[in-house]
Each structure stands twice: as C-alpha cells, then as structure tokens.
Amino acid sequence: MKQENNNAHKFGMVIDLDKCTGCGSCMVSCMSENNVPFKEDESNKKDSITWMSVYKLTNGKSFPDTEIAYLPRPCQHCGGKGDHGHSPCVSVCPAVATDYGYDTGIVSQIYTRCFGCRYCMGACPYHARYFNWWDPKWPEGMENYLSPNVSPRMRGVVEKCSFCYHRYQAARDVAYYEGRDDIEEHEYQTACTTACPSGAIVFGDLNNPAHKIHQIVKPDPHPDPRNKHVIGKSRNPKVFRLLERLGTNPKVYYLSEREWVRKQGDSYLDGEWDKIKNHHGTSSHG
C-alpha cells in the first residue's frame, strides 16, 4: 500500500560511464559484501549470480572509429509507472516476496517468502534478478569470510541487488544511538560505490538537494509531458536512464558525454532520436 511520507528518502545511483573502465571491482565487491554464491564454472553467464553485472557497449563502428563503454547494471529499483511503487517485479510477485519501500525507494527481496515462481524475473527487462539454481556453496574455509549482516540464500529462490540495505540499517542504528533523526550522506554508501576505483558511481538520496546525486541528476518531480508514466526524468542533458520509455522509473541513472552511449539507453524508431535527444526534464526549459 502506498504511504505518503514527505520525509521519505529515494535512494538512487548515478554511474558515470565515461569514468567506468570496466574493471569489475563493483561486481567483486558486491559478491563479497552480499554473500553471493558462485559456481566452479561461471562461464555460463545466464545462470550465474551477479547482482551487479557490467555490460560492454560499442558504437558499432569499425577501427579506427570504434569506441567502447562499460555499463554497470545493478537492480534499477524501479518506482514503476507514475513512480507509485508498482515496479515491474513487485506488481507481479504473487506472494509479496518482493516489496517496494516507500520510505527508501528500495525494492526488497524477502528470501524466506519467495517460493521460486520466477515471474519477477520474466517481468524485469534489465535481467537484474537471479535464481538460485543450485545450493549456495563456498570453498572450504571461505564460509568464514561471509558477511554476518547478510543472510545467504537457499536454493530455489530469487535474489537481487538490495542497494546494500544492511548498510542502511547499520547507519540508522548508529544515528539512533547518537540521538540523530537521520543519517548523513557518507554514512550509507553501497559496496560497489565505495569499491569503484575511478569514482564512477555516486550514491545518495534523490530527494535530498544537498546530496551529490541530486545535484548531478537534478530529477524532475513532474511527469514527463511526452510520457505521463515517466517521473524523475533528469534535467541534466548528459544523464539518462535505461528503458525510460517503458515507464519503469528506475532509480539508477547513467551519465555520459557521448551521445552514442546515451542513445543506447532506450530503443528508438528511425529518426526519433534526433527529435528527442535534447528533451530533458521539464524544468530545464523553464
């Protein structure tokens, strides 16, 4: 049920694709932080669990004009059409095993509630959801390195990026202990954000103008006049979201100076891109 809360956070991420080198540190730190199990042979990427996955984009041109970009893709924590919290996955889960946090904007996954129907995986266009096809196993001795703050998942359930929610809980605990009502920006940062060596990932509260992410993204709180389902469109012409046209309203934004990179965020009919590439959040025109 939607809960109106003017003090609600809306945690999100902006990833500078011009800074990303594709090193994979974000993926490794994510797996380590979140006790993601792995297989002896992970060459089949379609049944390996990588909450954070890095895609390789190219401009499709041959040498010497070839350009490459790497696109890290965590769960997009979609707000759904109109940003009402009916994310593609949340709205379809028959057992409320995945839920939308109206106080954080984070899409959760309740492992002990999930019975493994995988409807959410089918509904997610980003392939951000992963099924535990096998029992989680770690090489002998490695169990000692597991994080005590994150529960490992059992076979037969779906899992995905949680924006390191346990870190948010820990930060809130500290704030509560210190008598504060809220947490500081630096107190809650995801593992991938802190691990990125080039500082390509910025994480914070999209609702808080003091946060760096807000200043980069400049999210437009009004519906996009071209598509009433789209809320939070960036007013920064260099910022885009993946599949924004579908109305999923992700909270992960991408930043690039390169037009061909931005164009890959969505699909466009012939000639369409040139007409709408300069269309940004409404306030940018005001």
Partner 1 sequence: MDSALIPEGAKRCSFPKFTIGIAIVGAVLLWGVFAMFLCWFKGLNQTNMNDYYGFALWIWADLAVIAVGGGAFFTGLLRYIFKIDELKNIINFAVIIGFICYSSALLILAIDIGQPLRGWFIFWHANVHSMLTEVAFCLSAYFAVLTIEFIPNILENRQVNKVPFFHHLAHNMHGVMAVFAATGAFLSFFHQGSLGGVAGVMYGRPFAVREGLLIWPWTFFLFTWSAAAFGPCFTLLVTRITEAVTGKKLVKDNVIHLLAKISGWMIVTYIIAKIIDTIYWAMVTAPSLGFTLSHFYSNNGFYGYWILIAEIVVCGIVPGVLLVMKSTRENPTLRLVAIILGTIGVCLNRWVMVLQIMAVPVMSFDTWALYFPSWQEIATTILPVAYGIILIAVAYRYLPVFPQEQELNPVEPVTE
31 binds partner 1 (CB under 8 A): no
Residue span binding partner 1 (CB under 8 A) among the ranges 167-175, 197-205, 207-215, 268-276: 268-276
Residue span binding partner 1 (CB under 8 A) among the ranges 16-24, 30-38, 186-194, 242-250: 242-250
Q: How far apart are CA 162 and CA 74, in angstroms?
A: 9
Long-range contacts of 213-221 (CB under 8 A, 24+ apart): 213/12, 213/13, 213/14, 213/253, 216/14, 216/253, 216/255, 217/12, 217/14, 217/253, 218/281, 218/283, 218/284, 219/281, 220/280, 220/281, 220/282, 220/283, 220/284
125 binds partner 1 (CB under 8 A): yes
Q: How far apart are CA 240 and CA 263, in angstroms?
A: 9
Residue 246 DSSP symbol: G
- What is the footprint of partner 1 within residues 97-116 (CB under 8 A)? 97, 113-116
Q: How many residues bind partner 1 (CB under 8 A)?
A: 57
* Smaller CB separation from partner 1, 116 or 197: 116
Provide the β-strand partners of residue 55: 71
Smallest gap, in angstroms, from Cβ of residue 173 to partner 1? 28
User: Do the Cβ atoms of 211 and 203 come closer than 8 Å?
Assistant: no
Residue span binding partner 1 (CB under 8 A) among the ranges 16-24, 152-160, 189-197, 211-219: 152-160
127 binds partner 1 (CB under 8 A): yes
Smallest gap, in angstroms, from Cβ of residue 194 to partner 1? 26
254 binds partner 1 (CB under 8 A): no
Q: How far apart are CA 130 and CA 243, in angstroms?
A: 20
* Smaller CB separation from partner 1, 83 or 205: 83
Angle at 196 between CA 139 and CA 111, to 5 degrees: 50
Positions touching partner 1 (CB under 8 A) are 44, 46-47, 55-57, 71, 81, 86, 88, 91-97, 113-119, 121-127, 129-135, 154-158, 242-243, 245-248, 263-269, 272
